[in-house]
Chains A and B, each alone.
Chain A
Amino acid sequence: GAGVSQSPSNKVTEKGKDVELRCDPISGHTALYWYRQSLGQGLEFLIYFQGNSAPDKSGLPSDRFSAERTGGSVSTLTIQRTQQEDSAVYLCASSWDRGHNEKLFFGSGTQLSVL
């Protein structure tokens, strides 16, 4: 596609529910990243994919968070049993490969609100 696409753009959920956030990277980009942007906080790294594998998932805040990538393309970030502190903008980015990852292309994000 023309850019990184994320869906939904907004998600409101109740505490305790599970949510799935989707990212479609730019076609051909092998590296994919998830970041979280909380109010008053910087962008927080969550997980990095190279192809379908995740060499670095050190930023996932708890075992309620998981992510997968299939076909070297689409990625899904899943948050189980959501808590209010999970409310944030979840950003996905992609790049050609890890050697050029300063040239990240970001999506517009998913605004998650947990009530």
Chain B
Amino acid sequence: GNSVTQMEGPVTLSEEAFLTINCTYTATGYPSLFWYVQYPGEGLQLLLKATKADDKGSNKGFEATYRKETTSFHLEKGSVQVSDSAVYFCALIQSTGFQKLVFGTGTRLLVSP
């Protein structure tokens, strides 16, 4: 079945450091890929997405590239801020049938000043 694997957290960084959160997936067909973010005390919200191979999703300085050859969708940011501290979820939607989101376990990011 479809699944998403994320690196375990927490990831602890200093402000302005480079961020990578790894995500790999297993899916039939050609899924769409997403990163969702959950800030403290808030609901999950869509951060970025990519719908086909080699697409790059970007938002708020975050980027992720859909790599079909490595079945990966790693999240990156060149310079993190304290306000980026949150839990990040990688997710996919299968390309056929009922399109429910399949989420990874989430990675907590802690950014210190």
Contact = CB atoms under 8 A, between A and B. Distances in A.
A102 B105 contact: no
Interface stretch (A37-45, A61-69, A74-82): A37-45
Interface residues of B, number: 22
A86 B90 CA distance: 24
Interface of B: 4, 32, 34, 41-46, 49, 89, 91, 93, 98-106
A48 B98 CA distance: 10
Contacts of A3: 43
Interface residues of A, number: 25
B103 A43 contact: yes
A107 B100 contact: no
A98 interface: yes
B95 to A, nearest CB: 12
B41 to A, nearest CB: 7
